[in-house]
Structure 1
Amino acid sequence: MISELGQSFEGLKRLMDPESLMIVGVSQRLMSWGYVVAKNSIESGFKGRVYFVNPSIGSLFGVKVFPRVKDVPSPVDLAVLILPADLTPSALEDCASIGVKVAVVISSGFSEAGEQGKKLEDEVVKVARRNNVRVLGPNCNGVYNVDAGLNVSWISKRIITPRPIAFISQSGFLAYSLSYWGKTRGLGFGKFVSVGNQCDINVTELLEYFGQDPAVKAIMLYVEGVKEGRRFMETAKRVSLVKPVIALKAGLEEAGARASLAHTGALTGSKRVYEAAFKQAGVIQASKPENLLVLAAALSSMPRLKGPNIGVVTMGGGWGVISTDELTSRGLKVPELPQQLKERLKQILKKPRVSVLNPVDIGPAWPLEFKTIVEAVNLLIASEAVDGVLTHSLTLTDHAKSIGINEGHPRFESVKEWEALTAMLNLMNVYGKPIAFVTPLSREQCETVKRLEDDGWVVLHSVDEAVTVLKGMLDYHYALTRLKQRLTRSGPS
């Protein structure tokens, strides 16, 4: 890893796992930044010392509020500044005087706002460098780390689904929206950093930091512009060898680039340049925010796809055709199965109209025992002809209930369906191959889906999502192969 990051890592450690924190600019005004961040810092279960600062308030959420930064007992690991931009440089100077070594500047009104704001941001940087203080932001949504009980962001713990994923983002509100959406799917991220204008701490060193964090299994990036492109590329290559990095690059089109400049002051590059750079570095590129989270969830928890051949199992021929079209249109394959495997599938599925060519349509054999579905998928995933499996519409107990079949019927009990599908998904661990499990039903519609998502399984809700995951897995496998070959050719550095 980059040796010159040693000192910066100490600052990032204080940022993500401080022993004490101070929020300057807390507020009693409902839904203001000073109110929400203070509230979240208390509700997150932080075990260290917490200090609030505002000259006009005596206490907030049961915490004493100090009138001035210099009144706070020192030292303090992490300071969070929620102040007008013109008051921020002097407040940062005060923070340094009590031993603060890292500060999060949530306030806006800096380089993203024009020339005067750029001068204020430059002043913040001067104060920070003069006092050896690391700065995150300005113009950001703070940070959270569920493992440390730390939350100094706008995102409430009520919508956080902690998973072993870190999210580094140039947008604060995107993380808020993804948290809300992920909560409805059992998806989320346990560590989050909003970098804002990146006046000091930037995407690249955070990528390096989380690359060395054993609790993080995948890293998500939302970037509008990358500073120090060569350093980013070298870092991304190293980190991709250890864990998947999934990026959503915005501002690729002209109108988006203009919006990015106004949002964070970031200058963006051409679409082709970024796509080529990400591919060379082994970074998987997401096409939209939801795919960013779905890809990270799958790549952090499922076995990798190591070849293009996909076995498809559906309840109904239509979904088999649709799945096949989508898979093949994106570079994957749906090969006809070996004759011996087809004969074995016919034996367990029994009905003459069952198609076992691939896709395997088990619809004509319905109603099936749950164990028979598991056995069919087991035969498929165990075959050397198949590198991964896509299943569609295997959650059927709720359909039985919708047509008036009693939940107590032994063939249609949701608990038995959940047990069977859990056994099916566990086949991934047996054979080291992924199963893209697709159902059109949400957790609100189907108790089985809710249980599976709560257990941490990745449940996909469209063929497009499933193929996106499988294609992303295969791209990552090929990227790892290329990176390792280059490493072998170049030899130890």
Structure 2
Amino acid sequence: MAPKDLQRSDEHFLAGFFEPESVAIVGASNNPMRATYHLVGNLIKLGFRGRIYPVHLSEKEILGIKTFRTVKDIPETVDLAVIGVSYTATPGVLKECAEKGIKRVTLIAGGFSEAGEKGKRVQAEMARMVRENSIRAIGPNALSPINVKTGFCISFHAIDSIKPGNLSLIFQSGLYEPRSGWLLNDFNYHLNKLIDLGNKMDVNEVDALGYLVEDPETRVIGIHLESIGGDGREFLRLIRKGAAQGKRVVVLKSGKSEAGAKAALSHTGALVQGNDRVFEDAMKQCGALRARSLEDFFDLTRALERFGPLSLKGNRVFIATFPGGEGVIVTDLLEQEGLSLAETGSATLDKLRPVFPSWDIPGNPWDLGLTMQFHDPRKIYQTVIDAMIAEPNVDGLAIQMHPQSLLFPKEFMGIFTRAAQEGKPIALWLAGMESGRHENLMWLEERAVPVFPSPEKALRALAALHRFSRS
């Protein structure tokens, strides 16, 4: 059987990595204690419909699938070979792939350009082999790729399910891998595609970005970089192109300190070059948002994906908190994030008056703790949100949830979705609670209402949405 065409004239070459019809898993294992056990196990659990060929020197079957001693013994030329053997065995398997006519490989093992002069020489030899045989290679030192739609997932961790979404990620290292259980469950990440580039011997961030910018199922792109291995001008051009198409790009660049740059060199062999301030300015000019930290990167990419097509054109925000003191703190946070406290008009105050205490109070920030001493919380939330939807001076809402609200039926949660339905972004926070830990919160996030464990994260998300809405 012939392999899928390496690259049709109308298709990016990475399509064959994300949508293989056949895959060889070299180094697959029957031992659940081995990391490579899940390379085949995840494909089965996630419902990958392509043909799977485990390759192992001694096993007859792996997880019920017939095993082959080498890639040369497989009865077809597979679309993709995932090479999960040791770094010493990797060059030999790559040579066998070349002799078999396989044109796409993922090289998992580390120990090459990041491991000193000997490793650099071996990687250079593999790069030569790849070029001479017209092979495209991800890695080495990479776990890739993931395509949620097709159930294709290369990971060392057991993954039972992935929620489909419109977020695609480009990583230069597997820093997401040990967090995968948390990201896909408690954190409530919704993914489309993921590619880990590793040492970028062949495929680099420019290739990956070029593919995702044209991917109709990708609306948000998250990029982790230790260095730019491809054409820097083309990288910036692609970000601008994505921004022009309405795609939101978040970039986390590590190695900005001298110590961090040295760590990147020893980790993936990446030589971090250039002034960090110049990089920061370039990201702003081309329409990308730079994440402040790894935590910020995950928070922003999740929030922007869950907001969906909503935009925040203005920076005027209504806030509602339980403690009055938290309202003051959140007001300060608004200013720090470049947002402002919305002014509510007299007509809006009249709408709020039925849930006032026996005296007049400000309309913004709203004191939930005070007003709930006098009125039913459901009536308060409904009155406040309806009033802010109609208030022309309010662009977005940031509202604190009470833990007891988790006891309310989903019908009550529908109150929070009204703002998003009317085109006004709303961010909620429930102290210390990740959204994936309760069905009501996940229900909200399916309806473009992201939920955060703190007001800082909620306001940072609104600020990011505002930034992209202005560009």
Query: What TM-score does the superposition give when structure 2 sets the normalisation length?
Result: 0.90
- 1-structure distance, mates of 2:166, 2:304: 11
- State the 1:56 CA deviation: 1.8
Instruction: Specify whether residues 258 and 60 from structure 1 end up closer, same or farther in structure 2 by C-alpha distance, changes over 3 A only.
Output: same
The 1:8/1:473 distance shift into structure 2, 3 A limit, reads: same
1:381 equivalent in alignment to 2:389:
yes
Corresponding position of 1:297: 302
Match in the other structure for 1:414: 408
Change over 3 Å in CA distance of 1:8–1:192 after alignment to 2? farther
Contact kept? 2:185, 2:437, Cα under 8 Å: no
Structure-1 residue corresponding to 2:96: 94
Following superposition, the deviation at residue 429 of structure 1 comes to 2.2
2:263 is aligned with 1:262: no
Q: Point out the more displaced range, 352-361 or 216-225.
A: 352-361
Q: After the TM superposition, which of the residue ranges 317-326 and 336-345 deviates more from structure 2? A: 336-345
**Map of 1:56 onto structure 2:** 58
Distance change (3 Å), C-alpha of 1:277 and 1:198: same
Aligned-residue CA RMSD (Å): 2.3
**Corresponding position of 2:81:** 79
Q: Compute the displacement of 1:456 (Å).
A: 6.8
Name 1:278's counterpart in structure 2. Answer: 283
User: Corresponding residue for 1:408?
Assistant: none
1:335 deviation in Å? Answer: 3.4
Deviations 1:464-487 (A, max 9, x none): 101110111122123x2xxxxxxx
Indicate conservation of the 8 Å contact 1:354/1:365, yes or no: no
The answer to whether structure 1 residue 345 and structure 2 residue 352 are counterparts is yes
Corresponding residue of 1:474: 466
CA contact (8 A) 1:45 1:149 kept: yes
Shift of the alpha carbon at 1:451?
4.3
Structural mapping, 1:95-110, within 5 Å: 95-110=97-112
SS in 2 for 1:214: coil
Q: Which residue of 2 aligns with 1:247?
A: 251
TM-score normalised by length of structure 1: 0.87
Partner of 1:460 in structure 2?
452
Cα distance, 1:184–1:159 mapped onto 2, change above 3 Å: farther
2:418 counterpart of 1:426: yes
Q: Which digits, 9 at most, give the CA deviation of each residue in 1:243-265, with x for residues without a partner?
A: 10111111111111111111111
Q: Which runs of 5+ in 1 are unaligned?
A: 399-412, 481-493
Question: Which letter does structure 2 place at the counterpart of 1:370?
Answer: R
C-alpha deviation, 1:105, in angstroms: 0.3
Distance 1:189 1:446, change over 3 A: closer
Q: Aligned letter for 1:306? A: K
**How far off is 1:10 after superposition?**
4.1
User: CA contact under 8 A between 2:114 and 2:269: conserved in structure 1?
Assistant: yes
Superposition deviation, residue 458 in structure 1: 1.6
Matches within 5 A, 1:69-468: 69-158=71-160, 160-177=162-179, 179-227=181-229, 228-242=231-245, 243-268=247-272, 269-302=274-307, 303-346=310-353, 348-353=354-359, 355-366=361-372, 367-397=375-405, 414-415=408-409, 418-430=410-422, 432-440=423-431, 442=433, 448-449=440-441, 451-453=443-445, 457-468=449-460
The residue type equivalent to 1:472 in the other structure is A
Amino acid at match of 1:304: S
Contact 1:165-1:219 at 8 Å conserved across structures: yes
CA distance in 1, matches of 2:270, 2:54: 32
Paired residues of 1:224 and 1:251 also in contact (CA < 8 A)? yes
Aligned residue for 1:190, secondary structure, equals strand
Residues 353 and 364 in structure 1, CA contact (< 8 A), matched pair in contact too: no
- Distance in structure 1 (CA, Å) of the matches to 2:237 and 2:126: 29
> 307-316 or 356-365, which moves further after superposition?
356-365
Cα deviation 1:162-214 (Å, max 9, x = unaligned): 32211110121324415524511322423211100111111112112111111
Higher mean displacement: 122-131 or 352-361 = 352-361
Q: Deviation at 1:218?
A: 0.8
2:416 & 2:195 partners in 1: Cα distance? 36
Match of 1:153, SS state, is coil
Q: Is the 2:45–2:160 Cα contact (8 Å) retained in structure 1?
A: no
Matches of 1:188 and 1:450 in 2, distance apart?
A: 11
Cα–Cα, structure 1 residues 249 and 6, in superposed 2: closer, same or farther, change >3 Å? farther
Equivalenced residue count is 457
**What residue in structure 1 maps to residue 3 of structure 2?**
none
The 1-side partners of 2:350 and 2:176 are apart by 50
- Describe the SS at the equivalent of 1:26: coil
Once the two structures are TM-superposed, the CA of residue 444 in structure 1 deviates from its matched residue by 8.6
